Amino acid sequence: MDTDLAARVQESDVVLLDGGEGTSVVVHLHGATALSWKCGGREILFLSKQAVLDSSKAIRGGIPLVFPQFGPWTCGPQHGFARNKRWSVDSQPQMENGTVKCSLALTDDEDTRKVWNYQFKLVYTLELTTSSLSTRLTVHNTGGESFTFTTLMHSYFLTPDISTTSVRGLKGLTYTDKVQDGKDFQEDRDDVTIPENYDRVYQKCPSTVTMDCSSHTVSVNLSNFTDVVVWNPWSEKAKTMSDFGNEEYKTMVCVEAGSVSSPVEIAAGQQLSFQQTLKVHAKL
């Protein structure tokens, strides 16, 4: 783990997946939030220098997990409780045929049932190879009645410069623009550049979208997710976030795999899995 990251966390709060050859992932048990993903020595995830890592609030960066509610929530803070709870290690990191696997779990407790009275178990599995990271969330309805939820992997990607960064694979999709009063629009660009505050929910997404920046690309392959959120707070909103530097919008973009545009129903006893597979392609 980077020495500067090691200095910001308690060893007992994090799990390290070490793939060797400059490949690793550091996951914080608070929210099962991946803080860092190094691929061939390159850091792929953005983590704010002002992110709070003492488990007192959701982590600003990495891959926060959103469950059971994406966006504003009448039962509690937006984006639900999963990113603000302490997860347990379900299976320790293990290398198998060149892939490091690890899983974390979260089950309902009196705090969650107080705000959202359903029984569940979430199992979050990370699989790391020399060029990819897969993150899979399996939702188990362990109660006696069905419930609905929305879920998302709120991935923050590092970029050398937002002005030379784009997202590909969104052309032709309908998106809900939260910056324009939630109105729907059609994307007509092959390369979606981000010149200002973007907060868009692209719906019925193809299996793969790609974040393209000057040094590398990250392809995001969706499995069972239906939507992709593209978010950058830009300068004005950056100033309103205490755990985000005023200039940090220039070196990050969120490309978030989710099922958020319509609620997902899960029957009693059923389990549903949602996965993103992230692949890095360095530019020569």
Q: What is the 3-state secondary structure (H, E, C) of the chain?
A: CCHHHHCCCCHHHEEEEEEECCEEEEEECECCEEEEEEECCEECECECCCCCCCCCCCCCECECEECCCCCCECCECCCCCHHHCECEEEEEEEEECCEEEEEEEEECCHHHHHHCCCCEEEEEEEEECCCEEEEEEEEEECCCCCEEEEEEECCEEECCCHHHCEEECCCCCEEEECCCCCEEEECCCCEEECCCCEEEEECCCCCEEEEECCCEEEEEEEECCCEEEEEECHHHHHHHCCCCCCCHHHHEEEEEEEEEEEEEEECCCCEEEEEEEEEEEECC
Query: Least CB distance from residue 199 to ligand TA6, whole Å?
Result: 5
- CB of 130 or CB of 203, closer to ligand TA6: 203
At 148, the amino acid letter reads T
Minimum CB–partner distance for residue 231 and ligand TA6 (Å): 4
**What character string, x for contact with ligand TA6 (CB under 6 A) and - otherwise, covers 20-59?**
--------------------------------------x-
Structure tokens at 59: 């982590």
Closest approach, Cβ 271 to ligand TA6, in A, equals: 25
Q: Does 128 bind ligand TA6 (CB under 6 A)?
A: no
Q: Does 231 bind ligand TA6 (CB under 6 A)?
A: yes
Residue in the block written with tokens 């410069």: 161
Residues catalogued as catalytic? 154, 256
- What backbone torsions phi and psi does residue 237 show, to the nearest 5 degrees? -70, -30
Q: Is 81 an interacting residue with respect to ligand TA6 (CB under 6 A)?
A: no
Given the complex with ligand TA6, which of 41 and 72 has the nearer CB atom?
72
Residue 50 CB, shortest distance to ligand TA6, in Å, is 13
Min. distance of Cβ 267 from ligand TA6 in angstroms? 28
Distance CA 267, CA 150 (A): 14
Binding mask 242-261 for ligand TA6 (x = CB under 6 A): ------------x-x-----
Which residue's CB is nearer to ligand TA6, number 18 or number 177? 177
Asked whether position 117 contacts ligand TA6 by CB under 6 A, the answer is no
CA distance 219 to 66: 21
Min dist CB 187 to ligand TA6, Å, is 17
Question: Which of positions 130-159 make contact with ligand TA6 (CB under 6 A)?
Answer: 154
Question: Which among 10-18, 40-48, 71-79, 166-174 is the span making contact with ligand TA6, rule CB under 6 A?
Answer: 71-79
Compute how many residues bind ligand TA6; rule: CB under 6 A.
11
Q: Tell whether residue 235 is a contact of ligand TA6 (CB under 6 A).
A: no
Using CB under 6 A as the binding rule, whether residue 262 contacts ligand TA6 is answered as: no
- Using CB under 6 A as the criterion, which residues of the chain lie in contact with ligand TA6 when the complex forms? 58, 71, 78-79, 154, 178, 199, 229, 231, 254, 256
